[in-house]
Amino acid sequence: MQTTGVAVIGFGTVGTGVVGLLLEDGDRLAHAAGCRLVLRRVCDVDLDRPRDVSVPADLLTTRAEDCLNDPDVQVIVETVGGTTFAVDLMKQALAAGKHVVTANKAALAERGPELFRAAHAAGRSISFEASCAAGIPIIRAIRDGLIANRISGLTAILNGTCNYILTRMSSTGAAYGDALAEAQAKGYAEADPTLDVSGEDARHKLAILGALAFGTHVDLANVYVEGIRGISPQDITFGAQLGYVLKLLAIGRFQDGGLSLRVHPTFIPAENPLATVTGADNAVLLTGHAVGDTFYEGPGAGRMPTASSIVADLVDVALGRAQLTFQHIAWLAGRSPSVAMQPIAGVRSRTYLRFDVADETGVLAAVAGALGRHDISVASVLQREPTRPDSVPLVITTHEAREGNVADALAEIQNLPFMNCPAVRIRMLDRHHEDAP
């Protein structure tokens, strides 16, 4: 049976999961895949930290070069993370004739072309199934399963931390800070959750999936992002009364001749399958011209879901599949045709707006008039009892309008004398045209 030598560099949470699968499930994997993955080296700067996986001492090293220079190692698994040392490490591995498997979404999104050009020059491959949605094989689905399709839409929940927080806010009425603290206590959020709650983590993943789905290199600067830190339980409640659920969505669409890629909180219809994705799970809804809609859901992070995808990539390398597919994905090295990007101001979508206004006559007419002057049509109005003696919440949903027009209208409305605080704006996924939010 063919054998492939593997070195794991980065013996942290994910690296430990990969090592455990290779050591404990090696025979089963060999039987299922028809090839044997042999763990040759495990590298980390700290080998003294307790771990729940027992590794033979002769496989352990603190020197990455021991892995790079080992002739019995054909594949390097990079689980270090980051965009500096990890990128240098992967380039060195490729130059040394090793294939690379990684879950490093930041490195791929920020320095992908540099890495992919190095791989092409070396005649080696980079596999990255675990970089997006961890346990969901979404890279394979787009690259292989949907190869006959022109992908027209990608709508996804790509951050488990944000999905957990919004789920708790929706189900319990908890404030953002309380839901975040609960997520941290349960291990769903980091001590510093900035990368997640700012939307940046989902932005990295959308840059990768968008490039693959739409066949073009994506500059991270062209992916619009808003996080969830400003979300209020009040808006989640009002959205529910309108039949919508709030999610942090990553959205890719062709609209008006340009490709729009954006990450932001979005109200989605309660009947949309993405609305039922709760807790820390991820999900992806893809629309292809031949197949229609396909939906994928599963664990989006964690030690074993990520390790599962890494080992699947290792099998692809061992069988030669990774090398075949990698060499023919043009966008990886910036060799694909450029696609016009749609700036956020030009994107058309429906919008939820909440205004805290003085309880006086003429307010609704003034707000509707300002919206109308910017070609924004009101779809519905929701008004509740005053939350304070001097303030009334006024909720308006709009028909589809350009983002730039909405921003201009809000700037005008904000200067009106009855406004008590800045307006709240949340995009909406159209109930009747869910492929064009």
**Domain regions of the chain by residue span:** 3-134+305-333, 146-299, 345-428
Calculated CA dihedral for residues 138, 102, 325, 124, nearest 10 degrees? 180
Q: Are 184 and 190 in contact (CB under 8 A)?
A: yes
Report residue 279: phi and psi, to 5°: 65, -145
- pLDDT score of 437: 43
User: What was the pLDDT predicted at 430?
Assistant: 82
299 touches 280 (CB < 8 A): yes
CB-based contacts of 149, cutoff 8 Å, min separation 6? 288, 289, 290, 291
Q: What amino acid positions are annotated as catalytic residues?
A: 205
Q: What is the pLDDT of residues 398-434, one digit of tens each?
A: 999 999 999 999 999 999 999 999 999 999 998 654 4
Question: What DSSP element (H or E) covers 263?
Answer: strand 258-269
Asked if 38 and 314 count as a contact pair (C-beta separation under 8 A), the reply is: no
What pLDDT is stored for residue 334 in this prediction?
Answer: 62
Give per-residue pLDDT as tens, 270-328.
Answer: 999 999 999 999 999 999 999 999 999 999 989 999 999 999 999 999 999 999 999 87
For the packed helices 160-172 and 176-185, what is the interaxial angle rounded to 10 degrees? 120
pLDDT at 435 over 60: no
Yes or no: is domain 345-428 CATH 3.30.360.10?
A: no
pLDDT in tens, 93-125: 999 999 999 999 999 999 999 999 999 999 999
Residues β-bridged to residue 249? 264
User: What value does the mean pLDDT of the chain take?
Assistant: 94
3-class DSSP state for residue 17?
helix
Q: Which amino acid is at 139?
A: I
Same fold for the pair 146-299 and 345-428 = no
pTM of the predicted protein model: 0.95
CA distance 276 to 313: 29
Domain 3-134+305-333, CATH among 3.40.50.720, 3.30.365.10, 3.40.50.11900, 3.30.497.10: 3.40.50.720
User: For residues 176 and 274, is the Cβ–Cβ distance under 8 A?
Assistant: no
Residue range 146-299, CATH number: 3.30.360.10
Could you tell me how many residues make up the chain? 437
**Per-residue pLDDT for 436 more than 60?**
no
CA distance 308 to 388: 52
